[in-house]
C-alpha cells in the first residue's frame, strides 16, 4: 500500500527534530520533541489524530545513529508503526538541496527521502531477545579485553625500556588485571551458556565454525549482525552488507579499478579480513587460489577481498543447507566411498 504521509526524524542524544509531510511533499508539521519513549508515543498519536489517518498510512524514517535510535525503535515496535532506519550517506547523496544545514532541515530532507524512495523501504525489525543479549555480552567482553590489552602493552613497554617503572606499574596493576581476567572468564561463560540455551544459535555457530578461517568469535558476530540470519536471504546481500563486493568505478572512457562500498558493517569487514588471512594460510583450496591469482599479477588486497567474498558465500551455504562445510577432496572421498559401497 502506498504511503500517504511520512515523518522524517533527525535523531540526537536528547531530542528529535520531526517533519511531517504528505505524498505531494506538502509540509504539514515541524516539531522538536524529547528523545524519550513517552514523548515519541504521544507525538505519533497526535499526528495520526490530526491527519485522521491510520498507522498503515504512515512511514517514519530516520538515520542510523546507533543507541540514540533505541527509544524510537521501541515505540514503533510497540505501536506497530512502520519505521525505516536508513544509512545517513544514502539520504545525503539523494538530497537535491544541500544549501544550509541544521537539525530542522535534516528532518525535512529525511521525510522527503522517505516519500521519494518509499518503494525501496526496508522496514526495521526488532532483533530477537537472545541476539540482543548476546550482543550486549559481547560488547562487555570487547571492552574488558581492550582494557586488558592496553594495560599489558603498557607493562610490556615499561619492562623493556624502564625496569624501575615496571616494578611500580606491575604492583599497581596486579589487582586490576586479576579482576579483568576474572570478568572476562565470566563473560565467556555467560556467552557460551546463552549459545547453548538456544538450539538454532548453537547450530548456526557450529555450522560456521566448520569453515576454515571462521572461528567462534566470527560466528557470534555474524549471528548478531544478521539477527541469526533472519535479516538476509542471499549471500550477495550479506556480502554487500559486509563491504566485500567490488563495484564498477568508471565514467565514459575513464575506467578505474573496481572498489568496495564504504557503506558497510566495518566490524564484519574487519573480522572477515582476519578470517581470510587465516584461510589463505591453512585452507589448501583458498591458499592455492590466492597464490594463483597473485602470480597472474592481481593485486594482493583485491585477491584477499575475493577470499572474503568466498567466505561469506560459504557461510550462507552452510546456513542454508544446515550441514557443515566439506572440503572438495573430502566430498570426493565421500562420493568414492559411496560408489564402492554401491
The CATH number of whichever domain residue 78 belongs to comes to 3.30.420.40
Query: Which pLDDT does position 249 carry in this prediction?
Result: 65
Any domain includes 204: no
Query: pLDDT by residue (tens digit) across 61-92?
Result: 999 998 999 999 999 999 999 999 998 888 98
Query: Which pLDDT does position 337 carry in this prediction?
Result: 38
Any domain includes 210: no
Any domain includes 202: no
**Residue 8, beta-bridge partner list:** 19, 61
- Alpha carbon distances (Å) from 270 to 234, 236, 273, 274, 277: 21, 18, 5, 7, 11
Which domain, by its residues, includes 49? 5-120
Query: Which pLDDT does position 331 carry in this prediction?
Result: 44
Given a cut of 50, the residues of the chain with pLDDT beneath it are 1, 331-342
Q: Can you tell me the distance from the alpha carbon of 71 to that of 9, in angstroms, rounded to the nearest whole number? A: 12
Q: Can you tell me the distance from the alpha carbon of 193 to that of 202, in angstroms, rounded to the nearest whole number? A: 10
Number of domains in the chain: 3
Q: Can you tell me the distance from the alpha carbon of 242 to that of 267, in angstroms, rounded to the nearest whole number? A: 8
Same domain, 113 and 137: no
Among 89, 120, 151, the domain boundary falls at: 120
Same domain, 62 and 116: yes
Same domain, 324 and 220: yes
Any domain includes 341: no
Among 166, 197, 228, the domain boundary falls at: 197
Same domain, 135 and 86: no
Among 164, 197, 230, the domain boundary falls at: 197
Same domain, 166 and 271: no
Same domain, 109 and 168: no
Q: Can you tell me the distance from the alpha carbon of 270 to that of 290, in angstroms, rounded to the nearest whole number? A: 19
Any domain includes 104: yes
- Alpha carbon distances (Å) from 67 to 64, 71, 111, 120: 9, 9, 21, 24
Any domain includes 206: no
Any domain includes 211: no
Query: Which pLDDT does position 101 carry in this prediction?
Result: 81
Q: What is the model's pTM?
A: 0.84
Q: Can you tell me the distance from the alpha carbon of 29 to that of 2, in angstroms, rounded to the nearest whole number? A: 20
Q: How many helices (H) and strands (E) does the chain have?
A: 13, 7
SS3 123: strand
Any domain includes 162: yes
Query: Which pLDDT does position 253 carry in this prediction?
Result: 61
Query: Which pLDDT does position 258 carry in this prediction?
Result: 63
Query: Which pLDDT does position 94 carry in this prediction?
Result: 85
Same domain, 115 and 151: no
Amino acid at each position: 500500500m502506498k504511503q500517504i504521509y511520512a515523518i522524517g526524524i533527525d535523531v540526537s542524544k536528547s531530542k528529535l527534530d520531526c517533519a511531517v509531510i504528505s505524498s505531494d511533499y506538502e509540509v504539514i508539521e515541524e516539531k522538536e520533541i524529547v528523545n524519550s519513549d513517552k514523548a515519541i508515543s504521544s507525538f505519533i498519536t497526535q499526528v495520526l489524530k490530526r491527519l485522521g489517518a491510520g498507522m498503515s498510512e504512515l512511514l517514519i524514517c530516520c538515520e542510523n545513529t546507533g543507541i540514540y535510535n533505541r527509544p524510537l525503535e521501541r515505540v514503533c515496535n510497540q505501536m506497530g508503526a512502520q519505521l525505516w532506519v536508513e544509512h545517513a550517506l544514502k539520504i545525503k547523496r539523494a538530497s537535491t538541496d544541500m544549501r544550509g544545514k541544521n537539525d530542522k532541515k535534516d528532518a525535512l530532507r529525511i521525510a522527503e527521502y522517505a516519500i521519494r524512495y518509499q518503494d525501496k523501504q526496508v522496514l526495521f525489525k526488532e532483533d530477537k531477545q537472545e541476539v540482543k543479549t548476546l550482543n550486549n555480552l559481547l560488547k562487555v567482553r570487547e571492552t574488558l579485553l581492550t582494557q586488558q590489552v592496553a594495560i599489558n602493552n603498557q607493562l610490556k613497554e615499561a619492562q623493556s625500556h624502564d625496569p624501575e617503572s615496571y616494578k611500580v606499574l606491575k604492583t599497581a596493576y596486579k589487582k586490576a588485571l586479576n579482576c579483568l581476567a576474572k570478568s572476562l572468564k565470566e563473560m565467556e561463560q555467560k556467552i557460551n551458556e546463552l549459545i547453548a540455551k538456544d538450539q538454532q544459535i548453537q547450530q548456526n555457530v557450529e555450522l560456521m565454525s566448520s569453515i576454515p578461517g571462521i572461528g567462534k568469535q566470527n560466528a557470534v558476530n555474524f549471528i548478531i549482525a544478521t539477527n541469526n540470519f533472519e535479516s538476509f536471504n542471499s549471500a550477495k546481500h550479506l556480502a554487500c552488507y559486509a563491504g566485500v563486493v567490488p563495484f564498477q568505478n568508471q565514467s565514459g572512457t575513464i575506467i578505474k579499478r573496481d572498489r568496495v562500498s564504504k557503506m558497510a558493517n566495518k566490524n564484519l569487514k574487519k573480522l572477515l579480513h582476519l578470517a581470510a588471512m587465516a584461510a589463505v594460510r591453512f585452507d589448501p583450496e583458498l591458499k592455492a587460489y590466492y597464490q594463483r591469482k597473485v602470480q597472474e599479477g592481481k593485486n594482493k588486497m583485491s585477491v584477499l577481498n575475493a577470499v572474503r567474498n568466498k567466505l561469506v558465500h560459504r557461510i550462507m551455504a552452510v546456513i542454508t543447507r544446515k550441514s557443515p562445510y566439506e572440503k572438495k577432496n573430502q566430498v570426493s572421498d565421500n562420493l568414492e566411498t559411496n560408489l564402492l559401497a554401491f
